[in-house]
Amino acid sequence: MSASRSGSRVGVWLIGARGSVATTVVAGCAAVSAGLHPPTGMVTETAAFTDSGLPALPSLVFGGHDTVDCPLPKRAEELAAGGVLPPGLPTAVESELAAADREIRPGGPLPGDTRDEPALIASFTHDIQDFVRRHDLTRAVVVNVASTEPASTGAALPPSSLYAAAALRAGCPYVNFTPSTGLHHPELAALAAESALPYAGRDGKTGQTLLRAALAPMFTQRALAVRAWSGTNLLGGGDGAALADPEAAAAKNAGKERVLADTLGTPPEGEVHIDDVPALGDWKTAWDHIAFDGFLGTRMILQTIWQGCDSALAAPLILDLARLTARAHERGLSGPLSALGFYFKDPVGSGPAALADQYAELVRFGDVLRGGEGEGR
């Protein structure tokens, strides 16, 4: 029986639980559950997923780890002041924000932390298991929405991988919404295989890359030759500050460029740049400049400007992913959920790269979750 039908509750354990995206997820889930706002941007609320057995939004229970201690209701007030959340929403859903706030545990490594890797993994695992037990949850999905880390080198596990290991130890499906290493560490390959848990990632496709995944196939299908594809992003907020570090930005840009290489066949000339503009807060402007050749080599240019609110774009996708992954776990699916490539810049497993093909695959996955054609992997 599905979680929605049985009335059982499903945990969503957010790594980076006090960040902009996480706060918007908690506030947004409460607002939609209470009927205060429609589920705009949630693909799982569309007709294609009716009867897929996904856990109902009011059945989701939130908790997580973070390394800062700003209370969630205060964080939500800050987001409302910046125009990310509607004015009045933090007050309307204050009890849900406070309930999630009580379930946030100190993450790590904290400044001066003397715990070694096994001790940190054990501590994170304990926090997740304790959350599941105290709330009598049927299952919990761990979702990484913490600050982007620099690309990892060497054998040491970066924080995102410590959390991913803890998720597997705790028996939880895992979703990496960031470009950080997470489960992509060689040390974790055996643990992931043994765990027989479903997992998905990485790096949510919410703005510039979403547009690229939709537009690049158009050039290929019309037999137009893309000569160069260049992009610039201006953003502020915590993500903008984290991506001001060139190594963190490199991890992000690799995913954006992969989408073009996969959809066009070869990587075009051109680079992606990310500039931190603190005054923009959570609002992002992404400019793409595409130089292409038409018939007889005629040179042409397409330019696009995307102006989005990062957390409002990401939050409905996190809710979708938590529900889809929880249901996949309930159905006994395991390993990389390549059918969720629609949501990611750098999807796990092998799947199509063009957005329309990824959407078709996601809809088929909804059927698998329902128990229809194509079940089993």
Ligand X SMILES: NC(=O)c1ccc[n+]([C@@H]2O[C@H](COP(=O)([O-])OP(=O)(O)OC[C@H]3O[C@@H](n4cnc5c(N)ncnc54)[C@H](O)[C@@H]3O)[C@@H](O)[C@H]2O)c1
Q: Which residues contribute to the site for ligand X (CB under 6 A)?
A: 15-16, 18-21, 65-68, 107, 145-148, 159, 177-178, 203-204, 206, 237-239, 242, 310-311, 313-314
**What is the distance between the alpha carbons of residues 163 and 106, in angstroms, rounded to a whole number?**
12
Measured from the CB atom, the residue of 59 and 148 that comes closer to ligand X is: 148
Measured from the CB atom, the residue of 107 and 351 that comes closer to ligand X is: 107
Measured from the CB atom, the residue of 96 and 127 that comes closer to ligand X is: 127
**What is the distance between the alpha carbons of residues 266 and 5, in angstroms, rounded to a whole number?**
47
Measured from the CB atom, the residue of 62 and 177 that comes closer to ligand X is: 177
CB of 50 to ligand X, least distance (A): 27
Torsion of CA 194, 180, 310, 350, to 10 degrees: -50
CB of 310 to ligand X, least distance (A): 3
CB of 16 to ligand X, least distance (A): 3
Token pair, residue 278, equals: 């603190």
CB of 167 to ligand X, least distance (A): 13
CB of 299 to ligand X, least distance (A): 33
Peptide bond into 202 cis (omega under 30): yes
**What is the distance between the alpha carbons of residues 321 and 173, in angstroms, rounded to a whole number?**
11
**Alpha carbon 57 to chain centroid, angstroms:** 17
Token pair, residue 321, equals: 């992913």
Measured from the CB atom, the residue of 39 and 237 that comes closer to ligand X is: 237
Q: Residue 340 has what DSSP assignment? A: G
CB of 43 to ligand X, least distance (A): 15
Type of residue at 273 = H
User: Is residue 160 within 8 Å of residue 16, measured between CB atoms?
Assistant: no
**What is the distance between the alpha carbons of residues 77 and 73, in angstroms, rounded to a whole number?**
6
